[in-house]
Structure 1
Amino acid sequence: MAKETIGVVGVGLMGHGIAKNLLAADYPVTVIAHRNRTPIESLTALGAVEVGDLTQMAATCSVIHICAPGSPQVEEIVDALLPALKRGSIVVDCSTSDPTSTIALAQKLAKAGCHMADAPLGGTPVQAEQGELATMVGADAEVFARLEPVIASWAGAIVHIGPCGAGHKMKLLNNFVSLGYAALYSEALALSRKVGISVDQFDSVIRGSRMDCGFYQTFMGYAVEGNREAHKFTLTNALKDLRYLEAMADSIALANPVGNAVKNSFALASAAGGSGPEDYVPHLVDYIARQNGLD
């Protein structure tokens, strides 16, 4: 069987690591620039081929990964790829997207004889560079069988959740849990300081206890150690994901009061100025603190 030819759209914090590991696995990789040329130059030095537009990528690649901010951008990218895609090609959305949009795109691609899969990411940019991301895949069984060896080059944990759209549904649930922790930790830290318990004292009790977890440790890397890059996931993207979660719940008439409360914590931070490219999830502690009259 001929080796898949791979395209990667969006070689930022996560996409660069994906493309680098695909190259390390000897896949032919094509990339396209957006604004920042640094990752493009890094990848072409490793053997990637740069193209000037998405039509060129569609014409030469059999599997195209997309790492974009959200569904509106993914929809634009797929529409640009579609006219030149070869029959049988697979578009893999690695973004955290709206499942309704993902399923609609799958139907559009199917009419052109192509396939859609969703493979949203779990992990950090460091794990992306190391090829140790986790992914939850939504794809038909035959499409997944084709994709699995490709994805294995950049992911350490792969779970096939179900048909197209299922991966994005699971990713929203995953982010609801993690971002729920972030909102809970931020409020607990503000309350602890208000009643005279320092952040270090709070951490000394939680760390290493049954309440500790990997997310707690990266989140508290900022609150305790002051590391602004302890968890590089923006407040803006977090709020976007929680809005997608709310839409998913609304689509099945599910009451999700906790989800709405978590979303509102991030909406508060966004309204207070936390919408920049370097405003990350652990920085939520600052916005909740200031809302409560703390430094």
Structure 2
Amino acid sequence: MSIKHVGLIGVGLMGHGIGKNILEKGYKLTVMAHRNRAPVEDLVSKGAHERNNPLAVAKESDIVILCVTGTPQIEQIVYGEYGLMGAVREGLVIADCSTAEPASTVRIAADVEAKGGHFVDTPMTRTPKEAAAGKLGLMTGGPDAVMARIRPVLECFADTIVHAGPVGSAHQLKLINNFLSICHAAVAAEAITVAAKAGVDMKALRDIVMAGGAASVMFGRLINVPLSDDDSAAQFAIRNARKDLRYYTNMTEQLPVASFLAETAHQITVMADNMGYGERFIPRLIDVMMTVNGLKK
């Protein structure tokens, strides 16, 4: 059964790019109303239909893509009043592009499958720039047959698709990936702060780090803050980093695995959030570290 009509819930920074590319590839698109009207209205102007709740979106869709903050929002969308469960039927696929707790993903998938549908995890990597360009990276978790059926839709907005295994495995992989990325950012923020305190030339720091074994994509993004006060290369809110690290440590505790570095990085993001940086992008961990160390007021 081919997919012709796509639903999209979560038309924010990432969701707008996803929806734009789905429309450009010729699929019918229904989006759910969003507090940020600009991206919704842009997609509607391009041919999308707008509905007020998840149930209405799902009733006219072959696949519903979720692109929201995390597990509480997903569970509300699925189980809440006018939730997706009311429209689950044979063949309906719900693809969760959010970063979520794997245990919840597995539970939801079982409930959706009991009604004849499929719930799969398809979390993303990269930024809104790649979302707009149709070049996101996706991890997928779910049955091979289901993934093959929805792959043409996923390829509308992703140029890298890695199958992780059964339902829940992609969200596990995403949490590990984000743990690495956020910890790299925390380490880079501390290193840049030390360099500032010591009077090290920032251009020299960038050139030597990026030319050797200490190089990382995240360092390359964060060093733009002291060089040009530019945090746009990593448009990911510190509050979301805090959430993702807590999901990761919840997962490690359930395994169980000791996760010393994740706990430390999580507390750095908690501190940053408490200092008022929660909605700022992750490179602003540099400002937090400089404030704590008396280099910034």
d(CA) in 2 for partners of 1:117 and 1:92?
5
d(CA) in 1 for partners of 2:196 and 2:225?
16
d(CA) in 1 for partners of 2:25 and 2:124?
19
Q: Is the 8 A contact 1:89 1:115 kept in 2?
A: yes
Aligned length: 293
Structure 2 runs not aligned, ≥5 long = none
Match of 1:273, SS state, is: helix
Match of 2:223, SS state, is: helix
Matched, 1:90 2:93: yes
Q: Which residue of 2 aligns with 1:68?
A: 68
Spell out the pairing of 1:50-61 with structure 2 (5 A cutoff).
50-61=50-61
d(CA) in 2 for partners of 1:196 and 1:41?
49
Spell out the pairing of 1:27-38 with structure 2 (5 A cutoff).
27-38=27-38
Pairwise CA distance, 1:266:
1.2
Match of 2:258, SS state, is: coil
Q: Is the 8 A contact 2:11 2:40 kept in 1?
A: yes
Alpha-carbon spacing, 1:185–1:2, altered in 2? closer, same or farther (3 Å): closer
Pairwise CA distance, 1:33:
1.2
Match of 1:87, SS state, is: coil
Matching residue's letter, 1:289: M
Q: Which residue of 2 aligns with 1:77?
A: 77
Q: CA-to-partner distance for each residue in 1:148-167, whole Å, 9 max, x for gaps? A: 11101110100010011011
Q: Is the 8 A contact 1:222 1:229 kept in 2?
A: no
Match of 2:277, SS state, is: coil
Q: Which residue of 2 aligns with 1:201?
A: 204
Q: CA-to-partner distance for each residue in 1:211-247, whole Å, 9 max, x for gaps? A: 3233322222223221132211000000000000000
Of 257-266 and 64-73, more deviation after overlay is shown by: 257-266
Matched, 1:119 2:128: no
Q: CA-to-partner distance for each residue in 1:160-193, whole Å, 9 max, x for gaps? A: 1001101100000001111111010111111222
Pairwise CA distance, 1:55:
1.8
Matching residue's letter, 1:264: Q
Q: Is the 8 A contact 1:137 1:159 kept in 2?
A: yes
d(CA) in 1 for partners of 2:2 and 2:151?
15
d(CA) in 2 for partners of 1:114 and 1:164?
13
Q: Which residue of 1 aligns with 2:290?
A: 289
Matching residue's letter, 2:196: R
Matched, 1:239 2:246: no
Match of 1:116, SS state, is: strand
Q: Which residue of 2 aligns with 1:269?
A: 272
Pairwise CA distance, 1:7:
0.3
Aligned-residue sequence identity (percent) comes to: 35
Of 208-217 and 223-232, more deviation after overlay is shown by: 208-217
d(CA) in 2 for partners of 1:18 and 1:125?
9
Q: Is the 8 A contact 2:7 2:31 kept in 1?
A: yes
Pairwise CA distance, 1:137:
0.4
Q: Which residue of 2 aligns with 1:42?
A: 42
Match of 2:247, SS state, is: helix
Matched, 1:162 2:165: yes
Matched, 1:212 2:220: no
d(CA) in 1 for partners of 2:230 and 2:135?
22
Q: Which residue of 2 aligns with 1:257?
A: 260
Pairwise CA distance, 1:208:
3.0
Matched, 1:142 2:145: yes
Of 155-164 and 44-53, more deviation after overlay is shown by: 44-53
Q: Is the 8 A contact 1:68 1:74 kept in 2?
A: yes
Matching residue's letter, 2:222: F
d(CA) in 1 for partners of 2:144 and 2:167?
10
Matching residue's letter, 1:56: A
Match of 2:13, SS state, is: coil
Q: Which residue of 2 aligns with 1:153?
A: 156
Q: Is the 8 A contact 1:58 1:82 kept in 2?
A: no
Q: Is the 8 A contact 2:184 2:216 kept in 1?
A: no
- TM-score using structure 2 length: 0.95
Q: Is the 8 A contact 1:30 1:49 kept in 2?
A: yes
